Amino acid sequence: MTMPSGQICSVSVDLDPLDCYHRIHTLGEVPEALRDVVLRRGLPRFLDVLGRRGLRATFFVVGEDLVPGSRTGTEAGRAIVAEAGAAGHELASHSFSHPYELVRMERARVEEEIDRAHAAIASLGAPPVGFRSPGYNLSPAVIDVLVARGYRYDSSILPAPLYYGAKAAVMGAMKIAGRPSGSTLGDPRFLLAPPAPYRPALGAP
């Protein structure tokens, strides 16, 4: 969308299931009643706010959430994501199972995560053309697979020093307390990435 000042603003939302946060903070299994709470209760609120303002957003979807009967997927969750797509919002990929260690996986596992998410999202209509890696991390293997699959953009890197510092502090405190976080800390060089769209070097994103 274009702001009154003439600047362009991109609105995106990561639809991480509650399971992701339980993994980050080592909180154990998510109660069954809350397995799809982000999609079932949170997403409709986003759609209402955006709809009242005539805005279209990009929702980065975890593919497993669209597979009823899976670890995080339900029919209700799938239905509301389909509703978002039908309303004109972009459904982009946020991997299949949201593994925080995606950028450290061998290429075959990266391909599996991207391809399974692609198939799950495409089953609702339009196949995804955008991707965001879990934890705002990126690797040459991820970029290479996205290019090979014809994706138009990646939105993984978040050059935000305050966020990076806070994340590092929390992960460090948890480790000292004997509760290592399920998340991963990205390469600090990501903080030097430009905030505007750019074309990364394939071997060094």
Residues 8-62: tens digit of each pLDDT: 788 999 999 999 989 888 888 899 999 999 999 999 999 999 999 999 999 999 9
Non-local CB neighbours of 92 within 8 Å, separated by 6+ positions:
12, 58, 59, 60, 61, 121, 128, 129, 130, 131, 132, 155
Query: Dihedral sign, CA of 66, 77, 72, 165?
Result: positive
pLDDT of 6 above 80: no
Copy the structure tokens of residue 45: 């609120």
* Per-residue model confidence (pLDDT) at position 1: 59
Its pTM stands at 0.93
* Per-residue model confidence (pLDDT) at position 15: 97
Contact predicate 35/67, CB 8 Å: no
CA dist., res. 112 & res. 131, Å (int): 14
- The pLDDT confidence band at residue 4, using thresholds 50, 70 and 90, is low
* Per-residue model confidence (pLDDT) at position 3: 61
Q: Give mean pLDDT, residues 186-201.
A: 88
Per residue in 116-144, pLDDT (tens digit) is 999 999 999 999 999 999 999 999 999 99
pLDDT of 174 above 80: yes
Contact predicate 60/13, CB 8 Å: yes
- The pLDDT confidence band at residue 168, using thresholds 50, 70 and 90, is very high
For the chain, what percentages of helix, strand and coil (3-state, to nearest 5) are there?
A: 45, 10, 45
Residue at token pair 């990561």? 14
CA dist., res. 127 & res. 200, Å (int): 23
Average pLDDT of the chain, as a whole number: 93
Per residue in 62-75, pLDDT (tens digit) is 999 999 999 999 99
Sheet strand arrangement including 130-131:
12-14, 58-61, 90-93, 130-131, 153-154
Per residue in 93-112, pLDDT (tens digit) is 999 999 999 999 999 999 99
